[in-house]
Each structure stands twice: as structure tokens, then as C-alpha cells.
Structure 1
């Protein structure tokens, strides 16, 4: 399989704990293979739902930490204990689309920064200030990002991501797909580490 015919598609959700756990593994694999184009699509997991409606989350986070080493910061833990914080994947997808439009080659890093903001710093991914900070940290114009978040075109782009994910048949996050032409191969996700991703990749390219 020739590598120039390959690309990666990463399907994630900003409020998905397993995506947070998978983040470092994908980062390491992605940086080891800069020759592979990487597209990142937002999925829709939670829509205006209080985090307290999902009592399984603390136990799931413990398992994510055990299997991947991912950390969950004290500010996030406070949100979890309070239970009233509202998760809205659509608003997060709009913010992600706004960041992505200004630096398409950095999409994965924006996804990682968003999850860092939520899972470490307890910041809302519906709050424009969160995106101002991410934009500034990545050399983007913070006001341009915030302006795009209220532009109807970016709501449509977020909904387009959701539609693309459905077309791909993906219903769980994180999902990493390897694309060869029109062929899609389930490649990785959840607790897979970088070494397992590398071994799987070699099995397809050797």
C-alpha cells in the first residue's frame, strides 16, 4: 500500500473523555507520520445536557486514566462534582470549525487544546473566552475566531461535520480511520497507544 495514497480521518467529540485519553497517542503517531494528511471531524455526543445526568462519567474517567494516563484536573473535577455544567457538543463543534478555518494544518492541535481547556482547566467549550485563549496561544486573531463563532456559516459547517460522521458510519468516539482512495479502514481509537497504532500501520503498509 503506497503511503502517498493514504490519509487519516479522526472523528472526535470535544466532550468525550476517551478522546481526551486517546489524544497523546494520536499526537505521537501523527507527528511520526507528517506525510499522512489528517482530517478532524466533530461528532455530536451531548446537546445541552448537564454533566450530572451521566453518573457513569467519574468511573469512566478513572478507567481512562488507568489505561491511557490521561489526567483530569481539579477544576474539571469541581464541575463534575457540582453536576450542573452543561455540555453542548454543537457549540464546541462551531468553535472548533472557527479555529480550523484559520489554520487548517493545525486542526488536531486545536482539538487537543480544547480538551485541555475542559478536562484540565474546567473551562466551558461554549464560552467565547475559551477560544480567545486558544487562538492567542496559537498565534491566531482571537477576535476573528469569536466573530466566526456567531457566523451562521460556521454553525452549518459544524452540522456538516456531524452529517459526514453519520455518512462514514461512525457512532463511537474516538474513531481513527485510514483512508485509501474510497476504501476506509477502521484504524484505532479509545485506549490504543502510539505503539499499537504504529504496528497496525506497518501491517497495512508492509
Structure 2
């Protein structure tokens, strides 16, 4: 049995779920947790942020419901409107960080979301992964090298395939997975107490 967090680093609701995720992981140190990139903004959905007119309203709702922080640097990105969200690059970044510290994948996924939504950093920029790696005490040169490698691209594609195999249709999706069986614990948002109740209902104590 493992927990699987399927998210997109450019999804505001995934950012809003960070607090719940961290609390569940802290409560359940006995359960391994897999962090999987879902690939929200790929292909034709890679476009300037101004094309997503609902962003500011959605962020206000996310902040109200989850307490998530949206920083001034990120707000400036929205005001400018030219920034292009590329989930394939973000997935390569997660793959590089995950390769450096597989047992810290969830914490690194949360940090990936934070540096975009609070610090306004591009998840396509190798310097962003250098900053995250240095902050986490990882080998920054190695992380950047992996981020720019074909292996990271393959890992990103594998993540997107994994998300599809799990039947994920929205982000974030939090699952309990045992072999071929997947139990949905949260979709979009949820509290740690709600997730604990669903785990208990599934006989996972």
C-alpha cells in the first residue's frame, strides 16, 4: 500500500493542497508516498498565462478555502501575462529533484509549487532547480544536469502515463494504491481529517 499524489506544479489547487499533503505525510510516516506530475499544460495548452482569464478569481478562491499563499512576484507574472506555463519542464524538474532525494519527493514537490506561486520563479529555468537543490542540501550541479537530460524528459513522460493509468482526470488527486486497486482520498482539495476518515473507511489504519 502506498499513497500517490498526482499534481501539476502549475495548478493552483495543487498548491492549495500542499498544507494538507504535508500534514497527512507527517501523520502517516509508515506509508510511502509517490509524487507524480500530471501534465496539465502540455502541447497546445502551453500558452501565455493571460489566456487563462480565470486565474486571479480562482486563486482568490483557493487562498480563501485553503489558506495558500500567492506572493507578490507571482502576482506580477499574472499582471504581465506573457509567462508561459510548461508542465513538461516542471515534470522534468520534479524528476531531477526526485532522483537526487527519492525519499523527499513530496517535500520537494511542495517546494516546487511554492517557488512558483510565492517567489514567481519559472519552472522552465535551470536556475530555479539550482535554488531548490541548494535550499534542500542537494547536489545542485547534479540536479541541473539531470533536469536538462533526456532521462528527465523520459521520466516526465512516464509520470504523465502513470497519471493516465491511474485514471486521474483532475489535479490534485490523492490516492491510496494497493496493486491494481486505487482509492480516491481527495480530488481538488480536502483536509487531513477527511483523508484520515477515508483511509479508515478503507480499512487502512
CA distance in 2, matches of 1:170, 1:191: 14
Q: Deviations over 1:16-68 (max 9, x none)?
A: 00000011001001111010110111011113321111001111111111111
SS in 2 for 1:178: strand
> Deviation of residue 181 (structure 1)?
3.0
SS in 2 for 1:49: coil
Counterparts of 1:110-125 in structure 2, within 5 Å, are 110-125=108-123
Task: Tell me, yes or no, if structure 1 residue 26 matches structure 2 residue 24.
Answer: no
SS in 2 for 1:105: helix
CA distance in 2, matches of 1:132, 1:13: 20
| Structure-2 residue corresponding to 1:189 | 187
In structure 2, the gaps of 5 or more residues are none
CA distance in 1, matches of 2:193, 2:63: 18
In structure 1, the gaps of 5 or more residues are 1-5
TM-align CA RMSD: 1.0
CA distance in 1, matches of 2:4, 2:52: 28
> Deviation of residue 191 (structure 1)?
2.4
> Deviation of residue 182 (structure 1)?
2.2
CA distance in 2, matches of 1:195, 1:112: 20
SS in 1 for 2:202: helix
Counterparts of 1:78-117 in structure 2, within 5 Å, are 78-117=76-115
SS in 2 for 1:172: coil
Whether contact under 8 Å (2:170, 2:188) holds in the other structure is no
Whether contact under 8 Å (2:2, 2:177) holds in the other structure is yes
Give the number of aligned pairs: 201
Q: TM-score normalized by structure 1? A: 0.95
| Structure-1 residue corresponding to 2:47 | 49
The match for 1:161 among 159, 162, 167 is 159
SS in 1 for 2:6: strand
| Structure-2 residue corresponding to 1:144 | 142
Q: Deviations over 1:147-170 (max 9, x none)?
A: 111111110110111111111111
Q: TM-score normalized by structure 2? A: 0.95
